Amino acid sequence: MVEIPEGNGSGVVWDEQGHIVTNYHVIGNALSRNPSPGQVVARVNILASEGLQKNFEGKLVGADRTKDLAVLKVEASEDLLKPIKVGQSSSLRVGQQCLAIGNPFGFDHTLTVGVISGLNRDISSQTGVTIGGGIQTDAAINPGNSGGPLLDSKGNLIGINTAIFTRTGTSAGVGFAIPSSTVLKIALQLIQFSKVVRAGLNVDIAPDLIANQLNVRNGALILQVPGNSLAAKAGLVPTTRGFAGNIVLGDIIVGVDNKTVKNKAGLDKVLDDYNVGDRVLLIIQRGSEDLEVPIILEEKS
């Protein structure tokens, strides 16, 4: 099973303006009250150079449940704020040394060392979603490490520690981090917009259970297409009922550009790499035909 460590969380100083990046689930209790940006949702301790801990109110900037990330802001002086240097998670290799910093079991600023033991793992988040592209490490990650940095040997951020695989509640040598490429993309949007703007097709896709009941075993089945959407203008066909009450399947999306789509989650994962306004080529099955449909992506509602 995959379990998200809980307890006193950790975070990273993102910039000199006082933005702090952490996990969504670290401040999940406060977020469950639906706070608006600017409200205090956490206490943030920053270690000063003389070894003293300084305490600040962490005000919400924005949070993204689907990537288990959140951004807070503290009013701290610039001499206390040492922004993290963001490395390239795309160039990581299995066997590479990495370091995890966090607050396991309340032991402040603990450093553990290990190697990257796997790449492109799917992380099952406590927030109920699957995060793709995860980094697996054998560096000890325990409750309280959540939201803290995973660093390369040069001290660059390569991930945000977020999960452990365990049956005891403590580290079993299999930890997971959200890659820095994802952190960078999400953090910048949260700072700019207080939310994440995702690209989508603005159509209703059948959940896997319904798709299976309709004998759709491969691809993402379109249930509905709003009349004023770009998908409607592109000619995508929804699922309907025939004159005899039988179900007539709509278009089944089996690919986007050169990427294969196997189900609804697969479509979401593929579209995650695109931005609103991007033009993509959908590969669809319509009855016995395979068609290519160009379409411009809209903001996902």
Q: Which residues are catalytic?
A: 25, 68, 146
Euclidean distance between the first and final Cα of the chain, in Å? 31
> How many whole angstroms separate alpha carbon 292 and alpha carbon 301?
24
Cβ atoms of 80 and 54 closer than 8 Å = yes
Q: Which residues contact 89 (CB under 8 A, 6 or more apart)?
A: 133, 135, 158, 159, 179, 180, 181, 182
What is the CA 228 to chain-centroid distance, rounded? 29
Other CB atoms within 10 Å distance of the CB of residue 215: 7
Reported as type and span, the H/E element at residue 213 is helix 208-213
DSSP for 140-177 reads ---TT-TT-EEEETTS-EEEEEEEEE-SSSS--S-EEE
